[in-house]
């Protein structure tokens, strides 16, 4: 349906990926509109893990989408090379966040698969290819009679049956991807598309190897056959992963790797690009754009909803009203029962017989009892590492509800600070392991709990700096390998290493990189001197000394080049005298 080209946007002198609708589809207005709608959908979803759209339009009947050019390959390649389980969780978290973002905006992707997850050079995963994405509307069920859109290997049961779908279909596809990253093969594979679909509908949820069994609850929720048995949304899934990390991951020393494709035999990749039969497609050729819409994660305080119901359970299992007016109703002026909600006339009479001070005392006692119950449950959840999940049974929700009832409660305030501190510790643990993406997410969660925490704000800034340094070092290494030593401007090894040293003057990798550039120039200069090309040798020496002014090898070569070039310069000067 479309072809993608590498192009240069001349106005900004930057590479872009240019997606162009095939001419054979221009006669069908449906395909034309669907193609342009893909660009509009992506452009409306501004998220760090969603591909960036630069422009869409029509030029001389050619329909195009100009988007971010990504050089880090796709998840298909990463799976073939092997993905450790912590990295797999990083990818699932990032995709869950952007999918929830999209779902909240009313967009379901419908074709989440490894080929549609690309990577920037700094390792950031990006969801792309929204060719069959759909906006959720009150009158839209995202299906067409007799049609199925999506890739069979990643198709949710309800999607395969042509039923109405929501964001939970994307969660299912992401579960298939998680299993594929962990084990190295798809959970439901077969020789034909129909056989694959039947396996999705009938086969049980696959079991993970023993060394990955701590991830089985996550996989089971993601791959549940019925949507209602999955996570209610992608945000809940991401919260579950964070809680899973905090309780189990820190104690795991080994990091199992998925088996690379090359080690799995000749049939391992069979069906990777399989398509549904033409009769199942929404119009001929729509398959070429197969990728679904996203959803992304709205972070706290919206991420973890605060309890807002009228009541909460007390310690003895009874229901305690959240508001004092509902605790004991005052007597009505006519002597009748004050509240129609009172269960019996006897209860109403008892209420009327209680004096005002007694009623106030009763309310205060019930209120204090409810607050103490909330604090106790908050402490227990904190001890059990249930920081912000599961919903309504986590430390954050309990402490926040206690503060809603008693805004000055010091115990609840200490509890929130303890949650934030725990997230700070988790972030620091991930930094020590080199998992900067996970570290930043933990820092964000801590800031969502305690927005004014200077320690967490500084930690997040430091993580952002380390992420930028890691990106620059990777770009510098690539530039060095390509001999882009000091040119072109802003895309050379010297530029990248210098940026790193500006951010971290003691960065050893950047210092070593500067020395490596100087060595390259010294080697180039020596080659030119051996060929008696002294001016060119001197140019390389000047460039090398710009990088490392005190490099002994380059200084020695500079002196050697001057001595060897001196006779030629003298002859040139004498020749000028006689002309």
Q: Are residues 224 and 356 in the same domain?
A: no
Does residue 418 contact residue 380 with C-beta atoms inside 8 Å?
A: no
Q: Are residues 352 and 453 in the same domain?
A: yes
Residue 59 lies in a domain: yes
CATH number at residue 32: 3.30.200.20
Residue 62 lies in a domain: yes
Q: Are residues 447 and 490 in the same domain?
A: no
Sheet with 14-21, strands from edge to edge, namely 2-9, 14-21, 62-68, 53-59
- Cα separation, 472 vs 498, in Å, equals 10
pLDDT of 577? 53
Residue 295 lies in a domain: no
pLDDT of 95? 95
- Using one digit for the tens of pLDDT, what is the confidence trace for 339-382? 444 444 444 444 444 454 565 566 678 778 889 999 999 999 99
Residue 296 lies in a domain: no
Residue 305 lies in a domain: no
Which of the residues 28, 60, 90, 111 is marked catalytic? 111
Both structure tokens of 436: 């900067």
Residue 299 lies in a domain: no
- Cα separation, 220 vs 175, in Å, equals 8
Instruction: For tokens 């549609």, name the residue.
Output: 116
Range of the domain at 30: 2-68
Residue ending a domain, choose from 258, 289, 320: 289
pLDDT of 276? 31
* 111 counts as catalytic: yes
Residues 6+ apart with CB under 8 A from 118: 51, 70, 72, 73, 74, 75, 125, 126, 128
Residue ending a domain, choose from 289, 324, 349: 289
Residue 14 lies in a domain: yes
Crossing angle (nearest 10°) for helices 454-481 and 410-433:
10
pLDDT of 539? 93
CATH number at residue 112: 1.10.510.10
What distances in angstroms separate CA 279 from CA 16, 34, 147, 282, one per listed residue? 35, 19, 8, 8
Number of domains in the chain: 4
The pLDDT tens digits along the chain (579 residues) read 778 889 988 888 889 999 888 777 777 777 777 777 777 787 778 888 998 888 888 888 788 888 889 988 999 999 998 999 989 999 999 999 999 988 888 888 888 999 999 999 878 899 988 765 555 543 333 333 334 567 899 999 998 888 888 999 999 999 999 999 999 999 999 999 899 999 999 999 999 999 999 999 999 999 999 999 999 999 999 989 988 887 764 444 334 444 444 344 433 333 333 333 322 222 223 223 222 222 222 222 222 333 333 333 333 333 333 333 333 333 333 433 344 444 444 444 444 444 545 655 666 787 788 899 999 999 999 999 999 988 778 999 999 989 988 888 999 999 999 999 999 999 999 999 989 999 999 999 999 999 989 999 999 999 999 999 999 999 999 999 999 999 998 899 999 999 999 999 999 999 999 999 999 999 999 999 999 888 899 999 999 999 999 999 999 999 888 888 765 555 555 555 555
Q: Are residues 374 and 423 in the same domain?
A: yes
Q: Are residues 263 and 398 in the same domain?
A: no
Q: Are residues 315 and 245 in the same domain?
A: no
Residue 167 lies in a domain: yes
- Using one digit for the tens of pLDDT, what is the confidence trace for 221-271? 999 999 999 999 999 999 899 888 877 644 443 344 444 443 444 333 333
- Cα separation, 401 vs 305, in Å, equals 11
Does residue 271 contact residue 196 with C-beta atoms inside 8 Å?
A: yes
Q: Are residues 528 and 401 in the same domain?
A: no
Spell out the alpha helix ranges (H) of 204-335.
Answer: 216-222, 234-247
Residue ending a domain, choose from 52, 68, 84: 68
Residues 6+ apart with CB under 8 A from 512: none
* Partners of residue 57 on adjacent β-strands: 64
What distances in angstroms separate CA 116 from CA 80, 110, 461, one per listed residue? 15, 11, 30
Report strand pairing: 134-135 vs 107-108: antiparallel
Q: Are residues 96 and 214 in the same domain?
A: yes
Please say whether the dihedral angle defined by the alpha carbons of residues 337, 342, 345 and 347, taken in this order, is positive or negative.
negative
Count of CA atoms in the C-beta half-sphere (13 A) of 518: 21
Q: Are residues 59 and 97 in the same domain?
A: no
CATH number at residue 573: 1.25.40
Both structure tokens of 265: 């035999």
Q: Are residues 140 and 178 in the same domain?
A: yes
pLDDT of 133? 53
Q: Are residues 248 and 390 in the same domain?
A: no
Q: Are residues 250 and 140 in the same domain?
A: yes
């Amino acid at each position: 349906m479309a072809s993608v080209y590498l192009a240069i946007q001349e106005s900004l002198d930057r590479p872009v990926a240019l997606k162009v609708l095939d001419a054979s589809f221009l006669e069908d207005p449906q395909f034309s509109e669907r193609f342009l709608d893909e660009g509009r959908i992506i452009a409306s979803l501004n998220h760090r893990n969603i591909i960036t759209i630069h422009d869409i339009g029509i030029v001389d009947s050619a329909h195009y989408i100009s988007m971010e050019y990504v050089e880090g390959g796709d998840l298909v390649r990463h799976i073939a090379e092997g993905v450790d389980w912590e990295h797999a969780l990083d990818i699932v978290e990032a995709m869950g966040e952007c999918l929830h973002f999209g779902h909240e905006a009313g967009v379901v992707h419908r074709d989440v698969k490894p080929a549609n997850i690309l990577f920037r050079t700094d390792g950031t995963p990006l969801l792309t290819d929204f060719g069959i994405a759909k906006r959720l509307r009150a009158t839209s069920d995202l299906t067409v009679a007799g049609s199925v859109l999506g890739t069979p290997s990643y198709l949710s049961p309800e999607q395969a049956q042509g039923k109405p779908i929501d964001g939970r279909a994307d969660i299912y596809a992401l579960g298939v991807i998680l299993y594929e990253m962990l084990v190295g093969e798809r959970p439901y594979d077969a020789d034909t598309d129909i056989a694959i679909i039947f396996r999705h509908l009938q086969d049980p949820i696959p079991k993970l190897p023993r060394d990955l069994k701590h991830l089985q609850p996550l996989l089971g929720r993601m791959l549940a056959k019925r949507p209602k048995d999955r996570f209610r949304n992608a945000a809940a899934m991401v919260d579950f992963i964070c809680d899973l990390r905090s309780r189990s991951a820190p104690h795991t020393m080994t990091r199992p790797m998925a088996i690379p494709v090359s080690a799995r035999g000749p049939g391992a990749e069979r069906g990777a690009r399989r398509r549904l039969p033409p009769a199942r497609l929404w119009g001929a050729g729509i398959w070429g754009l197969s990728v679904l819409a996203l959803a992304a994660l709205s972070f706290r305080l919206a991420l973890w909803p605060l309890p807002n119901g009228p009541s909460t359970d007390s310690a003895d299992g009874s229901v305690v009203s959240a508001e004092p007016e509902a605790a004991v109703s005052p007597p009505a002026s006519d002597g009748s029962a004050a509240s129609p909600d009172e269960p019996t006339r006897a209860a109403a009479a008892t209420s009327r017989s209680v004096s005002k001070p007694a009623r106030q005392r009763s309310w205060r006692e019930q209120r204090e009892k409810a607050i103490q119950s909330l604090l106790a449950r908050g402490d227990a959840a904190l001890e059990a590492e249930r920081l912000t999940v599961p919903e309504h049974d986590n430390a954050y929700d309990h402490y926040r509800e206690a503060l809603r009832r008693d805004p000055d409660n010091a115990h609840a305030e200490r509890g929130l600070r303890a949650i934030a501190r725990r997230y700070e510790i988790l972030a620091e643990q991930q930094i020590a392991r080199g998992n900067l993406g996970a570290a930043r997410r933990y820092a964000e969660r801590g800031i969502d709990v305690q927005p004014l925490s200077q320690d967490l704000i500084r930690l997040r800034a430091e993580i952002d700096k380390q992420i930028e340094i890691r990106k620059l070092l990777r770009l510098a290494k690539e530039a060095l390998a390509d001999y882009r030593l000091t040119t072109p401007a802003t895309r050379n090894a010297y530029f990248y290493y210098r940026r790193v040293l500006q951010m971290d003057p003691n960065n050893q990798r950047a210092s070593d990189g500067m020395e490596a550039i100087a060595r390259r120039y010294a080697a180039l200069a020596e080659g030119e001197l051996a060929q008696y090309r002294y001016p060119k040798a001197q140019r390389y020496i000047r460039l090398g000394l710009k990088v490392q002014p005190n490099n002994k090898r380059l200084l020695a070569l500079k002196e050697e080049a001057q001595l060897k070039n001196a006779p030629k310069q003298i002859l040139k000067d004498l020749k000028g005298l006689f002309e």
